[in-house]
Chain A
Amino acid sequence: MQLDRDTLAESYRRMATIRAFEERVGADSLSGLIPGFVHLYAGEEASAVGICLELGANDWIGSTHRGHGHCIAKGSSVEGMMLEIYGREGGLCGGKGGSMHIADLSVGMLGANGIVGGGAPLAVGAALAAKTLKTGGVCVGFLGDGASNQGTTAEAMTMAVVLKVPVVFVIENNGYGEFTAVSYHSGGVDLAARAASFGMQATKVDGSDFFAVHEVAREVIGKARETGMPAVIEVAVNRWHGHFTGDPQAYRSAEELALVRTRDPLVLFKTRVIEAGLIPADLFDKIDGEVAERIEAAARAAIAAPVPHVSTVTTDVYVSY
């Protein structure tokens, strides 16, 4: 399907925003400006943006502990995210969630999840709510190759098939669960085929290619929306960084590390769109400039922002008392 110029520009802007956001967060994490640790999504941008392009305000996504990209792709404010990740007042979660638990229910983002495999059952729940309330919505449950081994994921897939709910499990296979390669941690099986064996249609796609991801998303999400049935997409992605910032990636060979950034989804996108004459090169430069400015401003604002008031340690534990 041909995407119009505005959609293409916006898609690129989102991918570029994720990239710039992650590079900035990675640097500030290493320098100690950001507390705790962060898991970066750089290199996987086409997956989040290509999938979320098919989602609207009625739709939900569940996410992983590598969730910044999903947040941005679903429409969360990068300024609010930045404040949150810096642990500042006014952050998306008031500084109580941080990177691994960032959520934005106002845009249908059910939350990153610090528990590998924790999110898949939640995605089934959001899909059940959409079905019961007849909102016409679907839920995309992002999970990683590591999470695909968890019992919760198996249970969630079983439940989705039994309950017949419109959930699309998107397995972002970046080749590693933490520091252990998928060839080992999943016993070398085909993740899509394993998911399909629960009784769903499963499709594989190259996650560096935005257009391929989007085409699959359009088809699979469209069908889930139409039939109310679950499905699976396995997206092959490259994790540019280690499991978390500061991971020296000693488990990756020099050859692999040299190759990992060669298929940059942003570059592939730009090249193809410029070659097709859809968007001139200078517009990309303009977008890159605007994104850089926005991220820089967001980071500066976060650094300058006050920390949450200490009295909020005990607020929001319960709704009613």
Chain B
Amino acid sequence: MTDTSTTQSGPYEAQLGDYFALLKPRVMQLVVFTALVGMLAAPTPVHPVVAFASILFVAIGAGASGALNMWWDADIDAVMRRTANRPIPSGRVQPGEALAIGVALSGLSVMMLGLAANLLAAGMLLFTILFYAVFYSMWLKRVTPQNIVIGGAAGAFPPVIGWIIATGSFSIEAWLMFALIFMWTPPHFWALALFMRNDYDDAKVPMLTVTHGRRSTRNHILVYTILLVLLAIGTGFTSIGGPIYLAAAVVLNALFLLGAFRIWKRDETDSETDNFAVERKFFRLSLWYLFLHFGAILAEATLRPYGFGGWS
């Protein structure tokens, strides 16, 4: 056997899927969906080709910021179980490649969104990328336990961008959708931090669980959930709300509040007994919570031309 294998001993060559994983596809799904809802909930119609291209470039921009985040946070990702298999810590993609992809796709997405939609939308996308990659990843995440609260704004901008793509301007409805995601992010991530117990400790990320303790985190989840419930139900009475949204919001917020109350009521002993079942359930519910709220806003907007959506 003289077959010399260069593939077995040579360095691993990144596949397209590895580069795609840099873009955080799961986060991109949320960005695409909320930006789409923001665009369709706006009163101005958008040509389907412009709509498709705009949402695609918003998604690419979100992916680019994800790649920049992975490039910067590779040291943290390598320590945490949840992220150790990401392309850079696992060695599938070189850090320099991630940086190049992040910068290139950021520039491309912002320029193309400016051409496809308008300059305000492009400016907002650029601001979002910088907010997430620089303000959150490079600074906030490592210095303050409020990282999730302020950093959550980055994930909350997509519906605002979607609204601007359609209208070319800001409005109170766009900021209501922003506020919904902004207030939802802390309880969502703090629930995750409760059951991903040692990850953030090991990585020395100042999550609330690490700096203020787990009891304080449970209190915070309840307080933020109460504020979120008021906001989410209040949105039902605005122009993006309506009977469908309100019905969905009442049910979802009752369940969410109940979940937060259960988390608040228990202590570490209870949680360890059932391996954080309540916290895990609350985290899963939080994903459905956001998806269904935006789904209801979309339903109201879709039915409005037929005389069913909204309050009028």
Do A and B associate with each other? no
Q: Which residues of B contact A (CB under 8 A)?
A: none
Query: A residues engaging B (CB < 8 A)?
Result: none
